[in-house]
Structure 1
Amino acid sequence: MKIGIGSENPAKIEAVGPFLTYFKNAELVSYSSDSLVSAQPFSDEETKEGAINRAKDCVKQGAEIGLGLEGGVMEMEDGMYLCNWGAVADLEGNVFSAAGARILLPNKVVEGLKQGKELGMLMAELTNDPEIRKKDGAIGVFTNGMLSRSEMFLHISNILLGQYVYNLNK
C-alpha cells in the first residue's frame, strides 16, 4: 500500500508515523503538493481546505491513502492564533479532517503577518534559523520547546488515523 504525504517538510513527514505503524506493509511517499490556498492561510477554513487539497492531490498522484497537513493562522477577538489542520483521503473518495493545537501569537509576529509576511519567514527572522519551519516551528518556539511542530501534527495524524479506521470498519 502506498501512503502519500503532501509535503516534503521533515516535521510533517515524521508526524504521519502512526499510519505506517497501523498499515504494516505501507510505503510512505512524499509528494510535492500544492495546497491551492494562500501561501499563508488566514482562517481555519482556508487552512483546512489546504490540508484537504494536499491529501486529495496525493491520491491523484498515485497514493492509495493521501495525507495533508497545513499550518495557518486565525483571528479571534483577543488576537491572532496559530492553527493547524490535517486531512486524509483515499481512492474511494473518503475524506476526513481534524484540527489541532492553538496558541496566541505575539504582537510582533501578528504585525508581520498583517504586512503580508509568511509565518515561516517571520519565525526564521525571529530565531535566526532559516530551517525552523522544518523543525520546531512557531509552536516549538512559543511553547519554549514543550511541543514541536512534528508533535503538534502527530496529534492530528493520530486523530485522522482513528477517524479513518473507525469509518472503514463501520
Structure 2
Amino acid sequence: MSHPQDSLITDSHAPDSPQEPVEGVEATTVDTLPSLEEQLRQTELLAAEHHDAWLRAKAETENMRRRAQEDISKAAKFAIEKFANELLVVKDSLEQTLAVEGASLEAIREGADLTLKNLAKAFEKSGLAEINPVGEKFDPHKHQAISAVPSEQPANTVVQVFQKGYALEGRVLRPALVAVAQSA
C-alpha cells in the first residue's frame, strides 16, 4: 500500500538538483544578515554616540544657564548705572551752587532752579515720572488719600496733593498723598 507522502517524494516535479536560472531573470545573491555580535557592536557604537551627544548637550545647557545667571546678576548690579550718571550732573550743579562764597539769595535760588531742572531731566531720561493728580479722579493704585475735604468738585476727585507720587516706566514707586473731595 502506498502512502500519499511517498508520492510527494517521488513526484516528478520535485527538483533533484538546484533550480537552473530562468531565462531573462537575473540571478540574485541573498544578503546575509550580520551576526549577532556585529549587530551588538553596531548598537553599542550608536549608544556611545548618543551618550556623547547627550553629555555635550547637557554641558551646553549648564553653560547657558550659568551665563544667563551671570547676565541677570550684572543687569541687577548695574541697572542703575544710567540713572547714576544722570545724577552726577545734578550733584555737580548743587555743589557749584554751594561753592559760591557770599552768594546772594537770588544766586542760590538760580542754582537751586538749575539743579531742579537737571534732576527733572535725569528723571525723564530714566523713565521716572511724577504723579501730580490735582483734578483727577482718585485712583487707589496711584494715590493714597489721607483726608476727605468738602469741595465743589465731584466726590473722590483729588483736590490737593500733599506729596507727589512717582512711577517708573508706568509702575508706581510711591503713590501721591492726596486729599479728595467728600461726597455731598
User: What TM-score results when the alignment is normalised by the length of structure 1?
Assistant: 0.22
Give the number of the structure with larger relative contact order, counting CA–CA contacts within 8 Å between residues 6 or more apart. 1
User: What TM-score results when the alignment is normalised by the length of structure 2?
Assistant: 0.20
User: Higher strand share goes to which structure?
Assistant: 1
Q: Tell which structure's C-alpha radius of gyration is larger.
A: 2
User: Higher helix share goes to which structure?
Assistant: 2
